[in-house]
Structure formats: C-alpha cells, structure tokens
Chain A
C-alpha cells in the first residue's frame, strides 16, 4: 500500500508538470510565433486605442440624457441607455455584453416571462427601426434580433437583421442604401469553406468600417 501511495504521488507530480505546465506553455509558445494576433484574442485597435475583439460582441448603446444634459439614472442608480442609432446593434444580451462574466439567459421554452421578454424585444426593435422601415411587421423580423445568444457576446447578427438596420444607418449617416449593403456584404463571415456553420454579419467590424466611411462627430 505504501508503495502504491508513493507511486501515485509521483504520478501526480509528473503528470502535473508535463500536462499542466509544459503542454500549455508549449502551445502558447507556438501560438506566439505562428498565430500571434489570433492567440492573443483577435484584438481590434482604432487609432491606437483598444476597442474590443472582433470575436466578441459589445454594447452599442448610449446614455439617455435628462433635460439638464446629465445622464439619467434608474431607481438602482444605473445609467439608462438606449441603442445608438448611428451603429448597427448586436443581438440582445442577458449580461449586458459582459465578456468577463458570461452566463446563459436560461429562458425556457414555455415560460410566461419569456413571452413578455420577446414582446418587449419586438416592441423596442420596432421603436428603433420602423421609422426607417415603414410597415415593418413581426413576420419580417428575424428571430436572432429578439432572442438572446448563448454567450451574451455573440459577435454576429443575421444578414436579414443587418439589412433591416441598413435603412436606419443609411439615413443617419447620409449614405446610400446600396453602399451600406455593400459594407454589410464585406463584413459578413460566410460559412467556413462554404458550408460549415451559418453566415453572420460581424457588427464591430462593420461599425468600424462605417466610422471610417462616414464619420459623425
């Protein structure tokens, strides 16, 4: 038994060094040489400033100002926000796009609270987009626009969702609709090799392209 214990203890040490330290550090070293940008998180800089990661969805809302020009706060003291009309909007997020504390929405298939959530989601989508898409109906709104993603930081929206928002962007940024659609196409990640996964429009990259193309102060 004593012998079994020593062997096991030695095994713990050897396996931990080999698999727990040498292996991950080795992979890291290869990554630094072969795929430096990707291994570090596909970070995106604009004008030397880190603005996020192209793989991570983020918040494109802005604070609501009260009549004195100060940010309005809700009963809990958190700033009230609304979607920033000059940017494409991500899918709804249950954790406010927090990439450092992710969790699932755990919204069930038959929950009464889920029905209310989707109704509210549709209403705010209409509130934002109908002005630029007269006659927009629920049947035209793609399901990804009102459902929360799994990660809460889904970087992509569906093409249908982007094409509806394109009308707003074109109007706010004084761009032609055709040009906005062109930009959408440029920032759509297709299926890998044409058939793996689903196509999605990368919202952060698209918004950066917009800021470059038609900057608003």
Chain B
C-alpha cells in the first residue's frame, strides 16, 4: 500500500504547489486586470462584448446579475433541448443516431445546465458527435463559468468597502472572461496532454474489426479529448462513453488519470487562494482550504483502506483479495487494472468532494464502507472543495453560519471580514444551506416511498436503497456520479431506437437538479447584494477571527454537524448496514 500512499501524497503536493499560481492568476482575471493572455484574447473578448451589445463597464446590482444569469441559462436550456431532440438532422453523425425520448432529454438537459452531468443515457449509444461537442461540451464550459461567476460576485460583495454600494460586477464580463482566460486555455492544454497519451480525438465513424482469432468487435470513437479536459476542469463529469473515465479512450494510463484528477481539483482548490487574494488576506483563503483539505484527506484514506480490504461477496467465494506477487489485490470489481486500488480510491474521493461526478471505477461495486465515502462527501453539500465556484460559495455560506454560531457563543454581534452579519443575511444563508439537503431527501423519499421509483432500481436489499438514495443525493448536489444500477432509460435495442424513458425518475431527477442549483445561486447572490451595501468596520479586539485554527475547527464542526444531522439516518439503511455485515443478501 506504500506505493499507493506515495501516489496520493505526490498528487496532493503538486496540487497545493500550483494553487498560488492559478489562484493568483484567477484573482487578476476577476479584478479585470491585464494578464499575459490579454494580448492574444483581448480583441476576441472585446469583439464578443460588441456582438452581445453589452456595456461591461456598468456594474449590475444583485438582481440584475441574477436576471442575466437566469435568462441566459434558460436560453441555453432550450438550445440544448433543441439540439438533443433533432439528432437525425445533425452533421457529425456518422452512426446515424436517432434522438432520445423527451423525458430522458429533459433530464439530460437539466443535468448539463446545472453542472451535474447525471447520465441516464449512454454516450456512445445515443449521442451524435455534434450533440457531444456543440451541445454537451458547450454546457461543460458555460455551467462551470456560471458557478465561478457567482462566487466572484459573492466575494465582491464581501470586499466592497463603500456604504450603500450596490454593484457586484457585470455578469457578461465575468462569464466571458472566466471562459476565455481560465477555462479555455486550461482545457486546450489538458486536451493536448491527454491526446499525447492515447485519449482519442477523431470524427471517424465507429470501426469494425476482427480479432486475432476472428471474433468481431466494434470500436466506438469520437472527439473525446477536447470534451474530456473540460469535463474534468469544469467539475462537470459527463462521460463521452457510458463508463466515463474508466473507458481507456477517455483515460488511457496512469498519467492521464493523474492529469484528469489534477484538472478536477485545480480550480476548486485554487479558488480558495483567489478568495484570500481578493479579500486582502491570504490567511483567510488558507483557513478555508485547511477546513476543506482536512475532510478530504479523511475521505481518501477511508476509501483506499476499505477498497484494499475486498468485499464480503469476494471473501465468501474464497477469492484472495490480499496483495500477492504481481497483484495489488483489493476489491478489483468494477476497477481497471491500470489504475488499481489507490488511484481508483483517490478518484472516488476527488470526484465526490467536488461536484465532478466523473468516475474511473464503478461506485455500485465499492465495498460498504468504501461506498459510504461518496455518500458522506455528498452529505457535506459541496463544501469540501465542491464544484468550480459552487464549492467555495457553499463553503462561504457555512463560514457565515459558523461566524453566526461563534458570535452567539461569545455573545457579540457576529462580524465577517468587518461586516456585521444580521437577520437578513443569516436568513438567506440558512435557506441557501438547506435547499440542497432538502431537495435530496424529498427526491429520495418520493423515489423509495412510492411505487414509481421501483422500476429504476437494479439491486435488491440495502444495495437497492443505496442506489435510490444516492441518485437523488447526487443530483441534488449537482454531482452526477451514480450507483449506476439506478436507471431512467430503457434501451431494448441498445440505441435510442425503440427506447423509452422512466418518466418519473427522469422528471424528478431533472427537477431536483434545477431546484438545488438555481435556488442556492439566487440566495448567494442575494447575500452578496446584502453584504455589498454594508459599511466595513475595522476589526476590534473582541472580533472573532476567521483565519486561525480555532475557526477552522469550528467550521469543520458546523459542516459535519449539518451533514450528519440531515443524512445519518438515511446512510444507516444503506452503506452502513452493508459495511457492518459479512453476509450476502
């Protein structure tokens, strides 16, 4: 296992080393400063503003900002639905794919708009290359950028120093700059690196072949590399192929796996540094990073150790799950040999603390305790790094909550970076914090409590409950990973032809994703609008500090408390039961 720990430690070290570089760069982009890429991209940026006919020098108040965000999201929703429902008309459709049904398309569109990328469809059996590129991958960029601009607006609200100020920035400028200066360049670098290692980028039709002894097969192909890098970088997670990053064409060796993991965490971690820079105290950023990292490290360790142990079913069948010469052992069900236990375990933690949801191993085949890790990660509502932007703004809501609780404990009016936290902010914060768990539990309750949820479930016993519970937890957290037995789309012919959706699961899931994405965004922008108007007071002697270890512990405590109180009973019925028994059901 030493080898595995070494890989994990190296990964974390590289990531932390890159944070100041990328985080500092992002701070300059969001402050509308000139950066190195301005020389190349400046004309394009200004050209886009001109085409859009927006005046980006005029700041919007929170309502204006929210309005632009909602309207453009609605337009993208309609555009994507239109694209996915007209597949027979597409160029780049060498496999002559038909369109999916209306209900599964509703789910898919909602899923990509909300940065969830929950997948009831299988990419290589249902999507044209055009849908993947011009539909889904575009949303990978835009939904990521939307998440990021919201946290930028919130930070501007926190740092504004003039009483009565209302502007929190220009939505269009933030959207365009985030896309052009951050997401696109990093995606290009990532795609080239992945392609150099065997991740494919081709417009060829699928290739039939005859193996060495004549057995025939087909290779599904496509423009994968360009989509793969933004899928990870934007913490989207929607696989080009049904088995996502387990597919060798998406993730071909140890290096691509490392690069993809790096891309997933790069922006969420670096944003904590960006935050520190923008509020004028790097310690503030590192404190938030420390709180996130402590929970992340625990998650990685638990899942790695649990998976190395093997499953009860394997032990009952007397399969040897110990390491022997030439094999690292462990629970290799649903895992790829080239990644082994360590890299699959690391990926499982990385993809569920963030809102990525891409997988390189099958979650449903994790051990009971290993499977508890994705559950626990999602129970923290994206506060442990979380999605790009969404993670930091979720965490900042918890910071405000922790400041409030801390203030109650010492009996002072709570202050956060010089701004008084009063009734309006705390109400909005609580609402923002509660929407996601509420959406998850209501969805899961409807799916397990009514007969309509049953057709989606694959496994029996506690495993079946885990599937349903995880499905709505994942969709509410805009994560998109799955205990993949849970289905919303039946394909008797293996394609869209003759397929039908499970309407209940498709619609409930789609609604869950949208509610849990846009309501918190509105609450966060409202908090930004409330904070931006407040006068900042200099910190006094009795002001509770938000950049020291005491506060980090308090913050972690609040996150765990809210997550545990909300989800613990539900987790007992699924993964905990399975982790505590050696029996088969």
| Interface residues in chain A, defined as those with a beta carbon under 8 Å from any beta carbon in chain B | 1, 4-12, 14-16, 19-21, 23-24, 26-28, 30-31, 34-35, 38-43, 46, 49-53, 55-56, 58-62, 84, 87, 91, 97-112, 114-119, 121-122, 138-144, 146-163, 189, 191-193, 195-198, 200, 204, 207-208, 211
CB-based contact B204/A40 at 8 Å: yes
CB-based contact B253/A58 at 8 Å: no
CB-based contact A104/B329 at 8 Å: no
Q: Which residue of B lies closest to A96 (CB)?
A: B217
Interchain CB contact (< 8 A) of B463 among A40, A110, A148, A200:
A110
19 extra interchain contacts, Cβ-Cβ under 8 A, other than A59-B217, A103-B242, A150-B336? A1-B71, A4-B68, A20-B134, A27-B201, A27-B226, A41-B207, A100-B219, A102-B241, A105-B365, A108-B364, A108-B365, A114-B317, A138-B319, A151-B243, A159-B327, A161-B326, A195-B7, A195-B10, A197-B255
* Interface residue B504 (Cβ < 8 Å from any Cβ of A): no
A106–chain B nearest beta-carbon distance, Å: 4
* Interface residue B418 (Cβ < 8 Å from any Cβ of A): no
Would you mind naming 13 contact pairs between A and B with Cβ atoms under 8 Å apart? A19-B137, A23-B184, A27-B192, A41-B200, A52-B217, A59-B215, A98-B218, A102-B241, A103-B484, A106-B365, A111-B463, A115-B313, A196-B343
B462–chain A nearest beta-carbon distance, Å: 8
- Quick one: CB contact mask for B71-89 with A, threshold 8 Å, 1 for yes? 1101110010000000000
CB-based contact A19/B209 at 8 Å: no
- Quick one: CB contact mask for B159-194 with A, threshold 8 Å, 1 for yes? 000000000000010010001000010011001100
CB-based contact B327/A59 at 8 Å: no
Which 6 pairs, one residue from A and one from B, show the smallest C-beta to C-beta distance?
A: A197-B254, A160-B326, A198-B340, A20-B134, A142-B327, A196-B254
Q: Which residue of A lies closest to B341 (CB)?
A: A198
Q: Which residue of A lies closest to B4 (CB)?
A: A198
B-chain residues with CB within 8 Å of residue A106 when the two chains form the complex: 334, 362, 364-365, 458-459, 483-485
CB-based contact A109/B215 at 8 Å: no
**Which of B217, B242, B342 neighbours the largest number of chain A CB atoms within 10 Å of its CB?**
B217
**Stretch with Cβ within 8 A of A (4 or more), from B283-291, B366-374, B506-514, B548-556:** B366-374
In the complex with contacts A23-B184, A58-B215, A192-B254, A197-B339 CB distance below 8 A: yes
CB-based contact A10/B51 at 8 Å: yes
Within 8 A of A (CB), among B316-331: 316-321, 324-331
CB-based contact A24/B133 at 8 Å: yes
* Interface residue B12 (Cβ < 8 Å from any Cβ of A): no
B-chain residues with CB within 8 Å of residue A27 when the two chains form the complex: 188, 191-192, 195, 201, 223, 225-226
Q: Which residue of B lies closest to A207 (CB)?
A: B212
* Interface residue B20 (Cβ < 8 Å from any Cβ of A): no
* Interface residue B294 (Cβ < 8 Å from any Cβ of A): no
Q: Which residue of A lies closest to B329 (CB)?
A: A143
Interchain CB contact (< 8 A) of B219 among A5, A30, A41, A84:
A41
A59–chain B nearest beta-carbon distance, Å: 5
- Quick one: CB contact mask for B474-488 with A, threshold 8 Å, 1 for yes? 000000000111000
Interchain CB contact (< 8 A) of A99 among B197, B201, B218, B459:
B218
* Interface residue B34 (Cβ < 8 Å from any Cβ of A): no
B-chain residues with CB within 8 Å of residue A146 when the two chains form the complex: 317, 319
B-chain residues with CB within 8 Å of residue A15 when the two chains form the complex: 138, 141-142, 179
Cα distance, A156 to B211, chains bound together (Å): 16
CB-based contact A38/B198 at 8 Å: yes
Interchain CB contact (< 8 A) of A109 among B227, B317, B326, B368:
B368
Cα distance, A206 to B485, chains bound together (Å): 34
| Interface residues in chain B, defined as those with a beta carbon under 8 Å from any beta carbon in chain A | 3, 6-7, 10, 48, 51-54, 67-68, 71-72, 74-76, 79, 122, 124-125, 133-135, 137-138, 141-142, 172, 175, 179, 184, 187-188, 191-192, 195-204, 206-213, 215, 217-221, 223, 225-227, 241-243, 246-249, 252-255, 257-258, 310-314, 316-321, 324-340, 342-344, 359-362, 364-368, 371, 458-463, 483-485, 494, 578, 581, 583-585
CB-based contact B248/A40 at 8 Å: no
A-B CB contacts (within 8 Å), total count: 402
B241–chain A nearest beta-carbon distance, Å: 6
Cα distance, A9 to B494, chains bound together (Å): 35
Cα distance, A196 to B227, chains bound together (Å): 23
Cα distance, A200 to B217, chains bound together (Å): 22
B-chain residues with CB within 8 Å of residue A50 when the two chains form the complex: 207-210
CB-based contact A56/B243 at 8 Å: no
CB-based contact B219/A21 at 8 Å: no
CB-based contact A101/B122 at 8 Å: yes
A168–chain B nearest beta-carbon distance, Å: 15
B42–chain A nearest beta-carbon distance, Å: 15
Cα distance, A10 to B313, chains bound together (Å): 55
Cα distance, A11 to B311, chains bound together (Å): 50
B-chain residues with CB within 8 Å of residue A23 when the two chains form the complex: 137, 184, 187-188, 226
Interchain CB contact (< 8 A) of B254 among A58, A151, A162, A191:
A191
B53–chain A nearest beta-carbon distance, Å: 7
Interchain CB contact (< 8 A) of B217 among A30, A39, A99, A159:
A99
In the complex with contacts A139-B320, A196-B258, A110-B578 CB distance below 8 A: yes
**Which of A118, A138, A152 neighbours the largest number of chain B CB atoms within 10 Å of its CB?**
A118
In the complex with contacts A7-B53, A87-B213, A56-B257 CB distance below 8 A: no
B140–chain A nearest beta-carbon distance, Å: 8
A-chain residues with CB within 8 Å of residue B585 when the two chains form the complex: 110-112
**Which of A27, A105, A193 neighbours the largest number of chain B CB atoms within 10 Å of its CB?**
A27
Interchain CB contact (< 8 A) of A110 among B52, B76, B342, B368:
B368
A-chain residues with CB within 8 Å of residue B311 when the two chains form the complex: 109-110, 114
A-chain residues with CB within 8 Å of residue B364 when the two chains form the complex: 104, 106-108
CB-based contact B334/A148 at 8 Å: yes
B73–chain A nearest beta-carbon distance, Å: 9
CB-based contact A150/B219 at 8 Å: no
A-chain residues with CB within 8 Å of residue B338 when the two chains form the complex: 154-156, 189, 197-198, 200
CB-based contact B312/A100 at 8 Å: no
B-chain residues with CB within 8 Å of residue A110 when the two chains form the complex: 311-313, 368, 461-463, 578, 581, 583-585
CB-based contact A8/B74 at 8 Å: yes
A-chain residues with CB within 8 Å of residue B196 when the two chains form the complex: 34-35, 38
In the complex with contacts A56-B248, A104-B364, A148-B334, A111-B459 CB distance below 8 A: yes
B-chain residues with CB within 8 Å of residue A197 when the two chains form the complex: 253-255, 257-258, 338-340, 343
Cα distance, A192 to B253, chains bound together (Å): 7
